[in-house]
Amino acid sequence: MYRKEIKVLDCTVRDGGLQNKWQFSDKFVKAVYNACVEAGVDYMEIGYKSSESAYSKTENGPWKFCEEKDLRRIVGDNKTNLKLAAMADIGRIAFEDIPKKSDSLLDMIRVACYDYQVDKGIALAEHCMDKGYEVSLNLMAVSAISEMALDQALSDIAKSKIPIVYLVDSFGSMYSEQIHFLMTKYKKALPGKTIGFHGHNNMQLAFSNTIETIIEGANMLDGTFLGLGRGAGNCGTEQLLTFLKNPKYRVKPVFNAIQHEIIPLQKTLSWGYHIPYLITGYLNLHPSSAMKWMDSAERDDFMTFFENTIDSRKELE
């Protein structure tokens, strides 16, 4: 029933940190780490790898940088089956700020880029491979670019050494028909490479879209505990583990961490499905306007948000 090639990557701390600038307590990060280990999750993305020149270290917590001393404080020598990953954004990290794999607790670097940065993304990913890391390339915001631009980017990636390429639904705007269309395209354009999926829950479709990519052969699947993540959040790691018929995964440790660490966060952090996210999702817009609205005093006046958003679209036409 299950596919042994499937790997689950939990990015609770990395994607969730977008909501609080990675100001998590060590207790929280350790609880997520321990739950991932006990649950049999394959990879934990613990944050971003960024240069200190790109971001303030007072404004941003340690998981924006993933320094070795911070990693070691949480995971010790990480003598577990859980691999550690960090995301790297193009333009926010210099090659020389990435240590050799032999000097790092990180196992994988996931390079995130837009289509117009794909050459830089490939160069950074191949640089990380040369330093000894596993890598993936996560091509963002593909719902908002032309098919020609997407085909060109995929063609460039196909020629690279990068073994894992992510379909990313950055705006949470994809329906199952687009998932099947894009998965077919990615598989055809990227023979021999593993396809991953990272969804967002703007229209409450992050979990179902993940399932559709599994049906289409995606073997790297992202989730976060209770969907904690940017704006409307992500596919729940707990949802994914209940779906996968794989004896190596155990959902109970994730439920436990959700109860004791994630639910309490809801008092101070806001994420998850809400009407403004549905609006940007179905209009295929970046959720930044909805996130700003949800942080404002007017958050529940989504009629005004709807009208502003529709008006701003009309101005474009």
User: Rounded to an integer, what is the distance from CA 22 to the centroid of its chain?
Assistant: 14
How many angstroms separate the most distant Cα atoms in the chain?
56
The distance of closest approach from Cβ of residue 207 to a second copy in the complex, given in angstroms and rounded to an integer, is 5
Residue identified by tokens 């967002």 is 200
Q: Binding mask 128-167 vs a second copy (x if CB under 8 A, - otherwise)?
A: ----------------------------------------
Pick one of 255, 271, 277, 293: the residue that binds a second copy (CB under 8 A). Answer: 255
Q: Is 65 in the site for a second copy (CB under 8 A)?
A: no
And the tokens for 248?
A: 């190596």
Q: Is 303 in the site for a second copy (CB under 8 A)?
A: yes
Pick one of 67, 107, 158, 243: the residue that binds a second copy (CB under 8 A). Answer: 243
Nearer CB in complex with a second copy: 190/206 = 206
Q: Of 57, 84, 55, 64, which Cα lies nearest the Cα of 72? A: 84
The distance of closest approach from Cβ of residue 203 to a second copy in the complex, given in angstroms and rounded to an integer, is 6
The distance of closest approach from Cβ of residue 177 to a second copy in the complex, given in angstroms and rounded to an integer, is 7
What's the Cα-to-Cα distance from 45 to each of 52, 105, 107, 241, rounded to whole Å? Answer: 19, 12, 10, 17
Q: Binding mask 273-302 vs a second copy (x if CB under 8 A, - otherwise)?
A: --x--x---x-----------------xxx
Cβ neighbour number for residue 287 with a 10 Å cutoff: 23
E-state strands within the chain: 7-10, 43-48, 83-89, 108-113, 134-139, 164-168, 194-198, 220-223
Taking CB under 8 A as the binding criterion, the range among 24-32, 115-123, 145-153, 236-244 that sits at the site for a second copy is 236-244
The distance of closest approach from Cβ of residue 99 to a second copy in the complex, given in angstroms and rounded to an integer, is 39
And the tokens for 122?
A: 């490939």
Q: Are 289 and 302 in contact, with CB atoms under 8 Å apart?
A: no
Interface ranges with a second copy (CB under 8 A): 175-177, 201, 203-209, 211-212, 215, 226, 236, 238-239, 242-243, 252, 255-256, 258-259, 263, 275, 278, 282, 300-303, 306
